[in-house]
Structure 1
Amino acid sequence: MSSNSVGTRSKSYLILRWLWRTLTRRGIGVENARVNHHFTPEERAKLEMVESIDYLPPNSAVYRRWLEKQPHRRAWDRWFMMGSIGVVTGVIAYLLYVFISVLASSKLNATRWLILRADMFVAWIFNATVTAAMAAAGSYLCLTYAPAAIGSGVPEVMAYLNGCQVPKIFNIATLAVKLASCALVVGSGLPVGPEGPLLHIGAAIGSALSQGHSTSLGFTTNLFRRFRNPKDKRDFVTAGVSVGVAAAFNAPIGGLLFAFEEVASFWQHSLGWQLFFACMCAALALNLLKSTGRALMKKGTFGWFDKDLAFEVDLAFSSHVLAVLPAAVIGLMAGLLAVLFTVANTRMARLRNHLHPVLRVGRRRVVEAAVLAALYVTGCMMLPLFFPCTRTECVILSVEGGMGSEMQCQSGLPGRGSIGGGGGIEG
């Protein structure tokens, strides 16, 4: 055995041992909730780089003279701004969903056509290439034009609402890149969704509309000048978060409760009613546009709102009291698996931080996204080949025009409960 091969094996062993020690080191994952966390010098250095926001109005003579000139108890413009944030976010959310649906349906139909007409290997090459290209394009846009758009944006928005000045998270460039990258990555078929990005998008819309000026584009207006203060901007960003959640899940009350429970550190009774009004405007605009799209495709009637919700479970069945026992066991197992997943995810994130000089520099992050996307597609397409085909009565087909999908059953009628007789469909 040559000395080179021995040296290569020893290096590989050292790398694997370092990875294992990094993953299993105490303190790298979840800490005990009863123990106070002590910041390391590196963590303190990061904290010192973030500026705080003073949401209280300045008590100066200039501010008091300006306040005397403002109309007392005027609130119509605030309600108008809340409704505008809701409508604009609902419209943008609809356009985002349409773009995602068109990309996903086009890729799915092309892959299905290649499987039926060509060969599984050709379909795999096409699917993996397109998915990797879309993931790489979204990653490249974020890294090159708007690094603040990386990730879901939820931690950054929550940090801002808690008084941390996070730079460039509400810029026009960040908003545009967020929309484009979200459509590309979600439309590629990866196991991600637009819910988190829509929260960031809504917050950026709330910030942009309420201030009436843009430093990125270099223009300013005289509209809504009295809202150009940290407190009002914070309230409108909170409204943007609420309408983003409401548009993502088609749940206005859910958007209000999310802002109240999760992100808003400052709350007023009047603000709650204004946020609920904004969420209602977002849901109304989104559903009106959905009904318009269905009417144009001859799939429905304009103004007819469906009862569909995100992650809806429309199933009712009879049960026995003893069914509580297996349900409790399943819930306990799910909770334990969630803990394991959280710990593993935290440790993997810390490991990626340790590997930052190797994997997360420059264009290597684009390559990393493309490789992970290709591996995911490979698993999705190759795993079913190890199991036999199963006969089923219904298949899921894409709707014409790329506006989602529907269940097509043996009788030819779409929807639940339309299972007809016959031998079924094999797939």
Structure 2
Amino acid sequence: MVGGSVVEAWWRSFRNSPGQKSIGPLQNDRERRDMMAAGAAAGLSAAFGAPVGGTLMSLEEGTSFWSSSLMWKVFFCAAIAFPTFNAGKNIQFTKSTNDSDSVDSKSIYFFGKFNETAYYFSYSEFPVLILFGIFGGVLGALFVNLNYRLSILRMKYIVSNRKKLLESVFVATFVTTSSLISMVLFENCQPKIKINSSNVIQVCCR
């Protein structure tokens, strides 16, 4: 995601390139903003093989302005990015009877083989799932409201660059200190027999 945005921003900032005249009409802040949103979606789509996920992630994280027209542009870019990247990465020239190419459809990230055992849900579990959904929606709305109020307070009291810098230092220090303290207080140790390269081991074991 970050790589797609960086490549797009670098290319459009390279004004002395031979193709500068062809992209001249796109050299404005609005088009740059939209193109970076498309680049973010394309990067995630290529990495995980998820064009729809890339579009939604761009909407959630990487876009300050959104419209229906931009949504289709971003989705089209994400939909083209995955097969293009996949074809360039995974085409294998095989020596078969017809000398045909074989294309591997896996994404760049592989999360291992999951258990193929089928798990079925019963109808009695649906009310619980609905309650979880309602609870999550209420918490999300509460978080958005608190974030809105906090943003208003920050805009009112944290105005100067010095205060903004001190705020960033304070937040970074608080988060880092809390993380280190939590690792010490809440141990998550495992026996050496069960340790393998895929497990994350807590750093403060006695």
Whether the 8 Å contact between 1:227 and 1:233 is mirrored in structure 2 is no
- Asked if 1:370 is matched to 2:169, the reply is yes
State the 1:346 CA deviation.
Answer: 0.3
State the 1:347 CA deviation.
Answer: 0.1
The 2-side partners of 1:270 and 1:347 are apart by 33
Q: Secondary structure at the match of 2:19?
A: coil
Query: For the structure 1 residues 268 and 224, does the alpha-carbon distance in structure 2 shift closer, same or farther, using more than 3 Å as the test?
Result: farther
Superposition map of 1:87-106 within 5 A: 93=3
Which residue of 203, 207, 218 maps to 2:12?
Answer: 207
Which residue of 42, 47, 51 maps to 1:253?
Answer: 51
* Aligned-pair identity (%): 12
Whether the 8 Å contact between 1:256 and 1:275 is mirrored in structure 2 is yes
- Asked if 1:361 is matched to 2:160, the reply is yes
Q: Secondary structure at the match of 1:345?
A: helix
Q: Secondary structure at the match of 1:336?
A: helix
Which residue number in structure 2 is paired with residue 276 of structure 1?
A: 79
Query: For the structure 1 residues 366 and 252, does the alpha-carbon distance in structure 2 shift closer, same or farther, using more than 3 Å as the test?
Result: same
Whether the 8 Å contact between 1:238 and 1:264 is mirrored in structure 2 is no
Which residue number in structure 1 is paired with residue 146 of structure 2?
A: 344
Considering Cα pairs closer than 8 Å and 6+ residues apart, tell me whether 1 or 2 has the greater RCO: 1
Aligned amino acid, residue 52 of structure 2: G
Deviations 1:387-415 (A, max 9, x none): 5x45546xxxxxxxxxxxxxxx8445444
The 1-side partners of 2:149 and 2:41 are apart by 29
TM-score normalised by structure 2 residue count? 0.59
Deviations 1:54-90 (A, max 9, x none): xxxxxxxxxxxxxxxxxxxxxxxxxxxxxxxxxxxx8
Max Rg structure? 1
Query: For the structure 1 residues 391 and 236, does the alpha-carbon distance in structure 2 shift closer, same or farther, using more than 3 Å as the test?
Result: closer
Superposition map of 1:175-194 within 5 A: none
RMSD: 4.5
Aligned amino acid, residue 179 of structure 2: C
Unaligned segments of structure 1, at least 5 residues: 1-89, 94-197, 214-219, 289-303, 394-408, 417-425
- Asked if 1:324 is matched to 2:126, the reply is yes
Q: Secondary structure at the match of 1:308?
A: coil
Deviations 1:104-138 (A, max 9, x none): xxxxxxxxxxxxxxxxxxxxxxxxxxxxxxxxxxx
Aligned amino acid, residue 324 of structure 1: F
Query: For the structure 1 residues 227 and 234, does the alpha-carbon distance in structure 2 shift closer, same or farther, using more than 3 Å as the test?
Result: farther
State the 1:328 CA deviation.
Answer: 1.2
Unaligned segments of structure 2, at least 5 residues: 91-105, 200-204
Superposition map of 1:21-420 within 5 A: 93=3, 199=5, 201=6, 203-205=8-10, 207-208=12-13, 213=15, 220-230=16-26, 238-248=34-44, 250=47, 251-254=49-52, 257-258=55-56, 263=66, 265-266=68-69, 276-281=79-84, 306-308=108-110, 317-356=119-158, 360-387=159-186, 389-390=187-188, 392=190, 410-411=193-194, 413-415=196-198
